[in-house]
């Protein structure tokens, strides 16, 4: 299987390097500046599981050719249009496997490529790019969940899972990938909503008099949207999520908080606003999530004005 990964950021860079290290046929599609840096120093991974460097094959948008079976997309949601523009010469007969937050990207990709060419994927990892260009994993969680959204994708999805099983990260084949996407969205919206509003970690929030109740309220609010949309969070996913959101002393934050504090763009439109719109359409008040979205919309407006 020939795999093309668009970008070498926190998700694509980490999981792609692990796949390449295990013997998979992986090529990275990069901008010229990132390509030059990786050609010079390799793709460096800094991880609690052990540091390593790989020297991956790379192409650019102008040099890529349509020879791939699977194309992995993992940009920030607001960069999806730019990412797709760089794939004009790469698609061919490839199936797209996106690892983006929320669900709206699936409609965009389905409209462009057709549902039969778009799998579903969920990435659980906290990672960032260092000033030196390395991919730094911030905690020990590193898992991919993926599954077919069309019967024609089953064989390819199972082939890719077989490759993932040879790596150091965790991987799961999901029979119902839409449910897995909703489970991730509920968790991430609750985590990002509370940590950006409070500008602190889960442990910081739970240490306050009202933090535990508000964290639970935020989670219930997000979960109600999934439930009324036909994707109620199951017992195992609920236990996992609450284990993360209700852990006293936990240093866990959402990447959205890190982006906010660094003065970078955030995915509040794709994670918060999209969930709010669905909730309101279902008759839910969405009070806390509307507040979280308003907070970041104000910050974005301030940043744009400076």
Walk me through the domains of the chain, giving residue ranges and CATH numbers: 2-175 (3.40.50.720), 179-305 (1.10.1040.10)
User: pLDDT of the chain along its 306 residues, tens only?
Assistant: 999 999 999 999 999 999 999 999 999 999 999 999 999 999 999 999 999 999 999 999 999 999 999 999 999 899 999 999 999 899 999 999 999 999 999 999 999 999 999 999 999 999 999 999 999 999 999 999 999 999 999 999 999 999 999 999 999 999 999 999 999 999 999 999 999 999 999 999 999 999 999 999 999 999 999 999 999 999 999 999 999 999 999 999 999 999 999 999 999 999 999 999 999 999 999 999 999 999 999 999 999 988
Residues 129 and 80: their CA atoms lie apart, in Å, by: 19
Residues 109 and 100: their CA atoms lie apart, in Å, by: 11
pTM to 2 decimals? 0.94
Per-residue DSSP letter, 94: P
Tally Cβ neighbours within 10 Å of residue 214.
17
What confidence tens digit (pLDDT) does each residue in 87-127 have? Answer: 989 999 999 999 999 999 999 999 999 999 999 999 999 99
> Are the CB atoms for 168 and 18 separated by under 8 Å?
yes
Residues 29 and 96: their CA atoms lie apart, in Å, by: 14
């Amino acid at each position: 299987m020939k795999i093309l990964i668009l970008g070498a950021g926190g998700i694509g860079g980490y999981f792609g390097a692990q796949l390449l290290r295990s013997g998979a046929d992986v090529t990275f599609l990069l901008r010229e500046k990132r390509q030059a840096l990786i050609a010079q120093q390799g793709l460096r991974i800094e991880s609690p599981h052990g540091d390593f460097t790989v020297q991956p094959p790379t192409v650019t948008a102008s040099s890529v050719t349509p020879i791939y079976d699977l194309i992995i997309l993992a940009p920030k949601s607001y960069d999806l249009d730019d990412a797709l523009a760089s794939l004009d010469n790469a698609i061919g007969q490839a199936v797209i496997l996106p690892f983006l937050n929320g669900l709206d990207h699936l409609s965009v990709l389905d409209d462009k490529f057709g549902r039969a060419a778009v799998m579903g994927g969920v990435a659980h990892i906290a990672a960032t790019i260092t000033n030196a260009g390395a991919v730094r994993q911030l905690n020990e969680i590193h898992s991919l969940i993926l599954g077919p959204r069309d019967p024609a994708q089953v064989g390819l999805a199972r082939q890719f899972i077989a490759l993932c099983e040879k790596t150091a990260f965790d991987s799961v084949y999901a029979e119902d990938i839409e449910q897995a996407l909703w489970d991730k969205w509920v968790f991430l919206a609750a985590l990002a909503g509370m940590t950006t509003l409070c500008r602190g970690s889960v442990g910081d929030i739970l240490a306050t008099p009202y933090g535990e109740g508000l964290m639970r309220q935020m989670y219930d609010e997000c979960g109600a949207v999934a439930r009324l949309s036909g994707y109620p969070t199951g017992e195992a996913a609920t236990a996992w999520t609450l284990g993360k959101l209700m852990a006293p002393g936990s240093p866990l934050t959402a990447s959205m908080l890190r982006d906010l504090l660094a003065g970078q763009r955030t995915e509040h439109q794709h994670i918060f606003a999209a969930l709010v719109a669905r909730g309101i359409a279902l008759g839910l008040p969405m009070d806390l999530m509307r507040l979280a979205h308003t907070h970041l919309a104000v910050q974005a407006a301030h940043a744009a004005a400076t």
